[in-house]
Structure 1
Amino acid sequence: MKDIINPRLLLIPFFWVVMSALPAGMMVWMGEKSADEVFNFVVHVTPKLLVHITLVVFVFGFLTKRLNKHVPWNSRGPLRIFLDTLMVVTFSVGMIVTLTPHLKVPAEMRFAMPFIVHTLVMVIIEMVLIYEDKKDLEVEVQKMEKEHIASKYNALKQQLDHHFLFNNLSVLSSLIYEDVDRADRFIQELSKIYRYVLNIKEKVLVPVKEELEFIDSYMFLLSIRFEEGLHYQQKVSEEVKEWYIPPLSLQLIVENAVKHNVVSKSQPLEICIRQESDCLVITNTYQLRKEPNMASNKTGQAHLTEKYELLSGELPTFYQEDGKYIVTLPLIKEPKY
């Protein structure tokens, strides 16, 4: 129901009935109208007006919610004023033609009252929806803050995990005696990874370029560790690199690919990052390990999906097709936060 019309708006017709009853009672009390005249008005006219006001609230509420989304005040103010005025005029003319001839009031009031009533209804609806949007925004911000804190913690935990550090130090230990130049680059790429993690701990979104540079360093460490068992490609244009993505999204996907699939010289794991329309597409060969403890609980995917839902509303996809596991990550052109 709330997706169609805010339930709070349905209180407006009942509020209108109460406010209409007060002046009617005062007219009887002050002798301006007899009790019979007021009673006849209530019986014959009020139900029709109540139905009309309810219809107006429903239509105005529905259309205003749509206009708030597609014709917002902050960017398309003149057009919005025109459309709101058009709604008020349309329903006011309808009320003048169908209802006000039954009202025994001066002609000026018969023509002025519909415009006053519909303008007030429109203003009340706008105020209610602004209040509701403000509340929703506060809830979303609070949720985003919690998500951000959790993200910072998980990012540091994942990258500074003792297994990650131990594995790479073990590789470095053996590499020093085999190839000093590669060992030197290994240290540089490892330092880039930790520097990136520390730099993004306060960020909700990062440029694609920075995330790709990070994942290149991450893949270099993995390539030293797995040698010919891992093949990696990146095909992303410079234009797309200026867009945005949640930090460590690619690391999560690559880490899952390495964790759950066979990586060996005889069965190399192929990972490719490319662009497709407004998305990054990450594919890897689908060759699951057979160990029982390799089952995935998909918490990383759920965390990434929730993050996207908060940031853009467009969700990533995860599926298996033609011997490959495919992940699509929507790119964000204009950061919301």
Structure 2
Amino acid sequence: MYLTAGWLVITLALVWVSNHFLTRRLDKKLPWLEHGNKRFYWQLGIGILMSLLIINLSYFILKLGLTSDPPNVTQVLSMNVYGILILLPTISINFGIQFLSNWKTAQVNSETFQKETIRAELTTLKNHLDPHFLFNNLNILSSLISVDTELSQTYLEKFADVYRNILKSSKEELVTLNDELRFIASYLYLLEIRFEDTIQTFIDIDSKAHMKYLPPLTLQMLIENAIKHNVISEIRPLKIHISYQNGYVSVKNPLQEKRVEKRNSGKTGLTNIQKRYSYFTDKEVQVFKNPDNFIVKIPLIDLESE
């Protein structure tokens, strides 16, 4: 009796430890929030098979090593049937605990994400509603009206499009790269009229990547940071390269920092982008800085594979 009780305690302990290890591994490979259905079936199947394997091994060790009564087919079948009857509710309870834990974590993350998104939107709106920004654009528009009516009309449409997209972004957690590039086209149009040849943008992105996702305003914030923190002149034009490779969009600009801005270097905007990305993917926003260039690589999110 004591031998059976000891065997039962040890076996249950091994089953618990193995399932705990399995849970931790699957948390990294198949997170609940991203692969709910797949995670359920994988953990249920592997958990039961692994538990039954442990039960059978420990049973054979008990019978062959510690008793003189060898196992028979009836005993093994009965043990496996009872094992499944015990394991199913046990694993179900474990799933329930995991679900509640992940649901609570998801709620906290969702609230944090909403705060970060609102902060990013407010920062962007603040920058674009800044009197200096408005004055510059209205001044350009005023000068264009008297010179080129058609160009001034196009400029006004792009100007309105920029604000419309900024306000629209408050309702969306993710947008397609295609939508972001269309918004960026309007934004860059305003910049090119204002800065003329002192800002040059080069975009080289495979059309296959256009339907993947990213948080709204991400590219705009990176371009804005590059303009804000670098010297721009006819002698030293700011060349911004936007390209795509291996699932990442790269935003690269030559490093020609303003001395007074050196301490800030756009870290607030980058931190916000990194935090918003952390709610959708394990892939990290990569930042590289060398004496010649500043590069930020942002991962695109494929909702079908996440």
TM-score tier, shorter chain, comes to 0.7 to 0.9
- How do 1:196-207 residues align onto structure 2 when only pairs under 5 Å count? 196-207=165-176
CA deviations over 1:141-186 (Å, ceiling 9, x no partner):
2323333333343343333233221221122223333333322221
CA deviations over 1:180-221 (Å, ceiling 9, x no partner):
332222111101101111222200111111111111111111
- How do 1:15-54 residues align onto structure 2 when only pairs under 5 Å count? 41=2, 46=5, 49-54=8-13
Q: 1:335 to 1:94 in 2, by over 3 A?
A: closer
CA deviations over 1:124-156 (Å, ceiling 9, x no partner):
433332332232223222323333333343343
Matched pairs, number: 293
- Select 2:52's aligned residue among 73, 84, 89: 89
Alignment gaps of 5+ in structure 2: none
* Letter in structure 1 aligned against 2:20: G
| Preserved contact between residue 205 and residue 244 of structure 2 (Cα < 8 Å) | yes
> Counterpart in 2 of 1:146?
115
| Preserved contact between residue 215 and residue 251 of structure 1 (Cα < 8 Å) | yes
| Preserved contact between residue 236 and residue 275 of structure 1 (Cα < 8 Å) | yes
More deviation, 74-83/163-172: 74-83
| Preserved contact between residue 14 and residue 54 of structure 2 (Cα < 8 Å) | no
2: CA distance between counterparts of 1:212 and 1:150?
22
- How do 1:1-337 residues align onto structure 2 when only pairs under 5 Å count? 41=2, 46=5, 49-67=8-26, 69-70=29-30, 74-75=37-38, 82-99=45-62, 112=79, 115=83, 118=87, 121-291=90-260, 295-296=264-265, 298-321=267-290, 323-334=292-303
Alignment gaps of 5+ in structure 1: 1-37
* Letter in structure 1 aligned against 2:153: D
| Preserved contact between residue 159 and residue 197 of structure 1 (Cα < 8 Å) | no
* Letter in structure 2 aligned against 1:98: I
> Counterpart in 2 of 1:14?
none
Q: Give aligned-pair identity as a percent.
A: 29
2: CA distance between counterparts of 1:129 and 1:295?
41
1: CA distance between counterparts of 2:103 and 2:262?
46
CA deviations over 1:16-49 (Å, ceiling 9, x no partner):
xxxxxxxxxxxxxxxxxxxxxx8xx3xx665554
CA deviations over 1:94-118 (Å, ceiling 9, x no partner):
232234666x9xx988953872555
More deviation, 87-96/313-322: 313-322
More deviation, 84-93/151-160: 151-160
| 3-state SS in 2 of match to 1:204 | coil
Q: 1:73 to 1:290 in 2, by over 3 A?
A: closer
Q: 1:88 to 1:238 in 2, by over 3 A?
A: same
How does the TM-score come out when normalised to structure 2? 0.82
How far has the Cα of 1:59 moved from its partner?
0.9
| 3-state SS in 1 of match to 2:216 | coil
How far has the Cα of 1:326 moved from its partner?
1.0
| Preserved contact between residue 319 and residue 325 of structure 1 (Cα < 8 Å) | yes
**Higher relative contact order, structure no. (Cα contacts within 8 Å, ≥ 6 residues apart):** 2
Name the larger-Rg structure.
1
* Letter in structure 1 aligned against 2:60: V
2: CA distance between counterparts of 1:93 and 1:292?
67
RMSD of aligned alpha carbons: 3.2
* Letter in structure 2 aligned against 1:158: N
How does the TM-score come out when normalised to structure 1? 0.75
| Preserved contact between residue 15 and residue 51 of structure 2 (Cα < 8 Å) | no
| 3-state SS in 2 of match to 1:75 | helix
1: CA distance between counterparts of 2:101 and 2:75?
34
* Letter in structure 2 aligned against 1:112: M
2: CA distance between counterparts of 1:131 and 1:109?
37
| 3-state SS in 1 of match to 2:298 | strand
* Letter in structure 2 aligned against 1:255: E
| Preserved contact between residue 311 and residue 336 of structure 1 (Cα < 8 Å) | no
Q: 1:91 to 1:118 in 2, by over 3 A?
A: farther
